[in-house]
């Protein structure tokens, strides 16, 4: 799969950011929610583009909240900065329902958050893609269930969409 395409991870894996460097690939992980990570299990690294793991590389600075379940990463068109999408809360539920946390994050190559946006727009963000014009596409993987709506009334208009943002976070299109 192309590095610039959607990248999917099993929900139990808390991968936040994948970084492609000129001399190889680096996988940067974030431990928040999901299955507990351990240093006893080493990543398989026998492919043509070896990588190294850098735990806790990226930090959410703008909101002061921990990472939610992370399920999408993309390399910016500049080839150096990284975009990631998280589910706003630890684990898989309630995701971004009932909150205003920003699930779309842009990081510089050192892991410093450049910007975040998309708060109040998603149920369960799951994929992210940066197109050749630098626009950021985010897929929302599900709609609120009837049980979700009992806990979070008024959230029935969210979910099961793809949103195209400008690099600055302006909504350009919703599918």
Contacts of 58 (CB under 8 A, 6+ apart): 16, 17, 28, 30, 82, 84, 105, 107, 111, 113
131: which residues sit within 8 A by CB, 6+ positions away? 77, 137
Query: Does a structural domain hold residue 5?
Result: no
Rounded-to-integer distance, Cα 120 and Cα 28, Å:
27
pLDDT band at 40 (very low <50, low <70, confident <90, very high): low
Q: How far apart are CA 118 and CA 27, in angstroms?
A: 25
What value does the mean pLDDT take over residues 53-68?
A: 80
Instruction: Specify the pTM.
Output: 0.72
**Does a structural domain hold residue 4?**
no
100: phi > 0 → left, psi -120 to 50 → alpha, else beta; which? alpha
Count of domains observed in the chain: 1
- Give residue 38's pLDDT band: very low, low, confident or very high (50, 70, 90): low
What are the φ and ψ backbone dihedral angles of 148, each rounded to 5 degrees? -60, -40
Locate 164 and state its tokens: 């195209």
Give mean pLDDT, residues 85-106: 86
Provide the pLDDT for residue 105: 96
State the average pLDDT over residues 111-139.
95
Q: Which domain holds residue 117?
A: 15-36+48-174
Domain assignment of residue 42, yes or no: no
Average pLDDT across the chain, whole number: 78
Q: Which two tokens stand for residue 69?
A: 């379940």
What Rg value do the Cα atoms of the chain yield, rounded?
Answer: 16
Report, as an integer, the average pLDDT of 145-162: 90
- pLDDT at residue 52, rounded to an integer: 72
Residue with tokens 């302006």: 170
- Sequential DSSP letters for 104-171: EEEE-TTS-EEEEE-TTS-SSEEEEEE-TTS-EEEEE--BPPHHHHHHSTT-TT-BS-EEEE-TTS-E
Mean pLDDT of 6-21: 38
Whichever domain contains 27, its CATH number is 2.40.10.500
Supply the pLDDT for residue 142.
87
Domain membership of residue 152 (yes or no) is yes
> How much is the average pLDDT of 124-153?
93
Higher pLDDT, 27 or 70: 70
pLDDT band at 26 (very low <50, low <70, confident <90, very high): very low
Judge contact between 41 and 16, C-beta under 8 A: no
* Cα gap 98→56, rounded to integer Å: 27
Question: Lowest-confidence range among 15-19, 46-50, 143-147?
Answer: 15-19
- Please determine, for residue 65, whether its predicted confidence score (pLDDT) is greater than 50: yes
Indicate if the pLDDT at residue 98 is higher than 70.
Answer: yes
């Amino acid at each position: 799969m192309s590095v610039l395409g959607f990248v999917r991870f099993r929900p139990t894996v808390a991968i936040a950011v994948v970084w492609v460097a000129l001399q190889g690939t680096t996988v940067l992980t974030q431990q928040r929610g999901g299955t507990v990570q351990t240093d006893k299990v080493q990543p398989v690294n026998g492919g043509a583009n070896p990588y190294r793991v850098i735990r806790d590389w990226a930090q959410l600075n703008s909101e002061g909240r921990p990472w939610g379940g992370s399920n999408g990463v993309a390399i910016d068109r500049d080839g150096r900065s990284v975009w990631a999408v998280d589910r706003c809360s630890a684990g898989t539920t309630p995701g971004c329902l009932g909150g205003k946390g920003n699930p779309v994050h842009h990081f510089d190559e050192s892991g410093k958050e450049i910007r975040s946006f998309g708060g109040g727009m998603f149920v369960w963000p799951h994929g992210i893609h940066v197109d050749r014009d630098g626009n950021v596409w985010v897929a929302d993987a599900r709609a609120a269930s009837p049980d979700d709506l009992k806990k979070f009334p008024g959230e029935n208009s969210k979910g099961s969409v793809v949103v195209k943002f400008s690099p600055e976070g302006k909504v350009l299109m919703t599918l």
